[in-house]
Structures are given as structure tokens and as C-alpha cells.
């Protein structure tokens, strides 16, 4: 049986298994994501990312992302940054502006390159959305007390401002499956510190506690700005590292900047 080459990468500790599906298609990516993501019996990751050609002329490449539980995600900012680094450093493109097709639309990746290496990537995450009946049911959210805000960054996020960001391990799973969220939800627990940084921990839909979440960082920054806790530029400090988020006043787009890193290459039996 032929093996499938893969690359393990992470963005601020949010780690995924990346496969060049242009050369090595994965027949059942949902099942593969569950098996390969197992940290004891597999490669170990937050999920599986397939990099492929774009089916539309408005994008250069496409991304599909499957969480560790096999569910397909709509978007991932950390994975977008890693794909930018992968495509450039693996020689699949020489462009430093890459249009990436996701289930949440086309995202533009801007690569910061020095000596042939991608040091940082900025992702145009588009405009935040605060009302979406397909993702959030306000009538069912009345029991969700406290300082909270729903923000969609192409996928649903529920941001909770609290002094105890460690409660993510206790409440994340229950909130992910709360009736207020028809398609489940990513949950952020955030605290704005005296120096203006925002300490955030995240429970990702389909993966549980992760070291970082790019869309979650964006949702947290937007929520902090909307509620007057921060300005339009924030440093989001997550378990795996710090991400920079800017919410532009002119186009209302959110821009996510941060690192991406290779971990190792390998092969696995499909």
C-alpha cells in the first residue's frame, strides 16, 4: 500500500497535518483526520488540512480543513498562514500575495519573506458579522449570562470576557453544543490586561482546547473593540504564542498577522 507524504506545521502552537492533495488525494479525509490526529496512535494534531488547486479563477489554491473529530471546518487563520509558508517554501509558488479559496470565501495571504524564508504571514480575514441566524439563535442565548458577544469570522465564535480564562476546560464543551449555536461554536475566554494585551484561551469546535486559534483571535479583538475594552489593533496572547490583529476602519476588514512553522515531514499509510 502506497504511503501519503505529509508535513506537520503549526501557527502559534495550533498544529495541523498538511497534505498536497494536488499530488496525493485523500479519499476519506474525515476518517483520516480522526485517525491521524490522535496524539497517542497517530501523528498527533488539531486536524488535517488538504491543499489543492482552486476550482475558481478568483483564487490560486484551495484549502479544506478537517478537525480532529472529523468534522469539516469553514476557516482557520492559523492554517491559512501555514499554507502560505508551505506553498512558497515548497516551491509551489513564487508569489508573495496568494489568493486562497476556503469554505468562507477567498482569503488573501500576504507573505513577509526574508532570505527565501517566510517569516510572517498576514491574512485578510474579511468583515466580522454579528448576526447570523444559521449560526447563532439569540432567543436560545438568554441563559448565557455575563460579558459575552457573538462574532462570526467566517465561522462562529462566542467571546466571553472574564478574569478567569482557565475556565475554558470546564465550560468549553458545554458551550460548544449549546442550543444557541445550531452548528456548534468556537468559544473564547478573554481578559484584557493593564498593558492592553488580551489574554485568550480557546475551545475550538471539533478539536477542544487548542494552543491558538486565528479566527478566535480575530473574534476576540473585534469583541474587545466593540465593547470599548480595546482599540482596533490588539495583541492576542494565546497558550501557543501571540497573534496581531488589526480591524481596519476604512474597509472594515480584519487582518491577522503571525508566524508559521514547519515541525517535520513524514509518510503515513492511508
pLDDT tens by residue, 184-242? 999 999 999 999 999 999 999 999 999 999 999 999 999 999 999 999 999 999 999 99
Statement: residue 32 has pLDDT above 70: yes
Q: Is residue 133 part of a domain?
A: no
Give the chain's domain count.
2
- The residue segments making up the domain with residue 88 are 4-125+258-268
CATH at 67: 3.10.310.10
* Rounded Cα gap, residues 183 and 150, in angstroms: 13
What confidence tier does 145 reach under pLDDT thresholds 50, 70, 90?
Answer: low
Statement: residue 170 has pLDDT above 70: no
Average pLDDT value for residue range 150-168: 91
What confidence tier does 99 reach under pLDDT thresholds 50, 70, 90?
Answer: very high
- DSSP conformation letters of 114-148: ETTEEEEEEEE----BS--TTT--GGGGTT--SEE
Instruction: Verify that 98 and 116 share a domain, yes or no.
Output: yes
Average pLDDT value for residue range 94-108: 98
Q: Chain-wide mean pLDDT for the chain?
A: 95
Which residues form the catalytic set? 76, 213
Angle separating helix axes 214-226 and 77-89, nearest 10 degrees: 130
What confidence tier does 142 reach under pLDDT thresholds 50, 70, 90?
Answer: confident
What pLDDT is recorded for position 136?
A: 94
Of all residues in the chain, the percent with pLDDT exceeding 90 is 90
Instruction: Verify that 154 and 70 share a domain, yes or no.
Output: no
* Rounded Cα gap, residues 260 and 240, in angstroms: 12
Report strand pairing: 47-53 vs 14-20: parallel
What pLDDT is recorded for position 1?
A: 64
Amino acid at each position: 500500500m502506497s504511503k501519503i507524504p505529509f508535513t506537520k506545521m503549526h501557527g502559534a502552537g495550533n498544529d495541523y497535518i498538511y497534505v498536497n492533495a494536488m499530488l496525493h488525494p485523500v479519499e476519506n479525509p474525515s476518517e483520516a483526520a480522526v485517525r491521524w490526529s490522535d496524539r497517542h496512535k497517530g501523528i498527533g494534531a488539531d486536524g488535517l488540512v488538504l491543499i489543492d488547486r482552486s476550482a475558481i479563477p478568483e483564487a490560486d489554491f484551495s484549502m479544506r480543513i478537517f478537525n480532529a473529530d472529523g468534522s469539516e471546518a469553514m476557516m482557520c487563520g492559523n492554517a491559512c498562514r501555514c499554507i502560505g509558508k508551505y506553498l512558497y517554501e515548497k516551491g509551489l509558488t513564487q508569489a508573495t500575495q496568494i489568493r486562497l479559496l476556503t469554505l468562507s470565501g477567498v482569503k488573501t495571504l500576504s507573505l513577509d519573506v526574508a532570505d527565501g524564508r517566510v517569516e510572517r504571514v498576514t491574512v485578510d480575514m474579511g468583515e466580522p458579522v454579528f448576526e447570523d441566524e444559521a449560526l447563532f439563535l439569540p432567543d436560545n442565548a438568554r441563559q448565557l449570562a455575563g460579558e459575552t458577544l457573538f462574532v462570526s469570522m467566517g465561522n462562529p465564535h462566542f467571546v466571553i470576557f472574564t478574569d478567569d480564562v482557565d475556565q475554558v476546560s470546564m465550560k468549553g464543551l458545554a458551550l460548544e453544543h449549546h442550543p444557541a449555536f445550531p452548528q456548534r461554536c468556537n468559544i473564547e475566554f478573554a481578559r484584557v490586561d493593564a498593558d492592553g494585551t488580551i489574554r485568550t484561551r480557546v475551545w475550538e469546535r471539533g478539536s477542544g482546547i487548542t494552543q491558538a486559534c486565528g479566527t478566535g483571535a480575530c473574534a476576540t479583538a473585534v469583541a474587545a473593540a466593540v465593547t470599548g475594552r480595546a482599540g482596533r489593533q490588539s495583541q492576542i496572547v494565546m497558550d501557543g504564542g501571540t497573534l496581531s490583529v488589526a480591524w481596519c476602519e476604512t474597509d472594515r476588514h480584519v487582518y491577522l498577522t503571525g508566524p508559521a512553522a514547519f515541525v517535520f515531514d513524514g509518510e503515513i499509510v492511508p
